[in-house]
Amino acid sequence: MSDESVPTPGTDEFVKGLWRENPVFVQVLGMCPALAVSNTARNALAMGLATLFVLVGSNLVVSSLRHFVPRQVRIATYILVIATFVTVVDYAIQAISLDLHKALGAFISLIVVNCLILGRAEAFASRNHVGTALLDALGMGTGFVLALLSLGAVREILGSGSLFGVPLFHEGFQGWVVMILPAGGFFTLAGWLLLFNWLRERRATRLAALEPVGATGGGR
């Protein structure tokens, strides 16, 4: 196979998903679940872990099947593989905690259409060894969990003054109701994106300032 990439040192496959190619904050993928269930940190964590499991499972299967699946039907195959894992997760969560299942609702099933998972299956797992695909899935999944957790934590702290159900402020704290509502999800994600944009821009400016005169390629 010519499209087989050389197995790279595994750490990079893992680390890139955490920050440099973070699925939510950098690639802006898989936002539907990220915003819909991140109104408390607990829901966000559960959703993140469920997605992580599906991502790892489907990446493993897709990667091991990559020589057997004809190109024409690959997307359909991936979707069926993903749907199988999502059904597993759905029933597992229902068995572990009915409350959680009620809180997440149909959004567990909707992991199927999370562009992140299909994206990784198509762009990475179908072209790489099982081991590399596993590391990639773990990294991307962990990045997704972290992103969801940072959204959920902000919304829960501001919206109800607690974290994982533990109250943080004294009793007089009035929650910002808007943070719990759908609009809060949009605003929180927008806030994080702005922060990262600003950090990136500041870093770029500093790097440009550090470079010797004449080496910079125009633009500013």
Partner 1 sequence: MSGEPLWAIFVNASLINNFVLAYFLGLCPFLGVSGKLATASRMGGAVTFVMLVSSVCAFGIQRALVAIDAPYLRLISFIAVIASTVQLVEMFVKKVSPELFRQLGIFLPLITTNCAILGLALFQTNKGYDFVECLVYALGAGAGFTLALVLMAGLREKLELASLPDVVRGAALSLVLAGILSITFMGFAGLGS
Q: Which residues form the interface with partner 1 (CB under 8 A)?
A: 28, 31-33, 35-36, 76, 79-80, 83-84, 86-87, 90-91, 106, 109-110, 112-115, 118, 178, 181-187, 189-190, 193-194, 197-198, 201
Q: Is 211 left (phi over 0), alpha (psi -120 to 50) or beta?
A: beta
- Cβ at position 14, least distance to partner 1 in Å: 25
User: Which residues, 6 or more positions from 172, have their beta carbon under 8 angstroms from its beta carbon?
Assistant: none
* CB of 4 vs partner 1, minimal distance in Å: 27
Cβ proximity to partner 1, 168 vs 199, nearer residue: 199
Residue number, 55 or 135, with CB nearest to partner 1: 55
CB of 81 to partner 1, least distance (A): 10
Shortest Å, Cβ 5 to partner 1: 25
Between 87 and 162, name the residue whose CB sits nearer to partner 1: 87
* Displacement of CA 16 from its chain's centroid (Å): 12
Q: What is the residue type of 27?
A: Q
- Closer residue to partner 1 (CB): 17 or 185: 185
Cβ 100 to partner 1 shortest distance, Å: 17
Please identify, using beta-carbon distances, which residue of 77 and 97 lies nearer to partner 1: 77
Helices (H), the chain: 10-18, 31-36, 41-64, 74-96, 98-104, 115-123, 130-160, 177-180, 182-210
Which position has the token pair 């797992």? 125
Which residues, at least 6 apart from 114, have a Cβ–Cβ distance to it below 8 Å? Answer: 29, 30, 32, 33, 51
